[in-house]
Amino acid sequence: MFELPKLNYALNALEPHISEKTMSFHYGKHHATYIKNANTLVTGTAFEKKSLEEIVAGTREDAAQVALFNNAAQCVNHSFFWDSLTPNKREIPKALLDKITADFGSLDAFKEQFVKQATGIFGSGWCWLVVENGKLKIVSTSNAQTPIVSGTQTPLLCVDVWEHAYYLDYQNARAGFIQAVVDNLWNWEFAAQNMTRGK
């Protein structure tokens, strides 16, 4: 049975950028419900003994398994999102900063492009910084879609742009939420580790 993964920080640790109330709903309710649903939906299927990542990879093209895919993928995406965040703001590792500068022109240019693309996602979805063919790219996915099992892209960081991620704190100001995450909460060391694996 899948279990809700433990966070690396307290529910109030991301304040003032993400409130404890938002985390209690987003992590404690939404993510927990995806876990519960995935456990229910996988029971009795050929994927019952598979990992969440294996379920996502095996069901993403299967119209008969849309519900299982959506819930398993949201489990995977949310776990990656929590790891993308940290209350401990630190300098970006030099290798990652150099790569961002080489591929986007500057850190500020990258941030501006990321916030613009993430803000412009229509409806619910995710925005990702990925490595593809040795180059950093910003990619958007709708609903539960994910590059994590794409086979061609290695995610470094992501932002959840479903309304439940920010509405209690920012109401309809999605851009303000994304800017706060990019400027204050991203776990650059996690990103650097992922970049090393994605080379």
**Is the distance from CB of 76 to CB of 146 less than 8 angstroms?**
yes
Does 10 reside within a domain? no
Q: How far apart are CA 162 and CA 177, in angstroms?
A: 11
Does 152 reside within a domain? yes
| pLDDT > 70 in the chain, percent | 99
**Is the distance from CB of 64 to CB of 101 less than 8 angstroms?**
no
Binning pLDDT at 50, 70 and 90, where does residue 56 land?
very high
Task: Specify the pLDDT at position 199.
Answer: 58
CB atoms within 10 A of CB 95: 11
CATH number, position 113: 3.55.40.20
| Mean pLDDT, range 111-118, rounded to an integer | 98
10, with CB counted inside 10 A (0-12, 13-18, 19+), is exposed
Task: Specify the pLDDT at position 151.
Answer: 85
Asked whether the predicted pLDDT for residue 75 surpasses 90, the reply is: yes
Distance from CA of residue 74 to its chain's centroid? Answer: 9
pTM of the model: 0.96
Shared domain check, 54 and 150: no
Task: Specify the pLDDT at position 178.
Answer: 98
The residue among 31, 173, 198, 190 whose CA lies nearest residue 115 is 173
153-178 in b/e burial notation, b at 16+ Cβ within 10 A?
A: bbbbbbbbbbeebbbbbbeeebebbb
| Average pLDDT across the chain, whole number | 96
Identify the domain containing residue 78 by its residue range: 20-84
Does 6 reside within a domain? no
199 vs 159: which has the higher pLDDT:
159
Q: Is 128 helix (H, G, I), strand (E, B) or coil?
A: strand
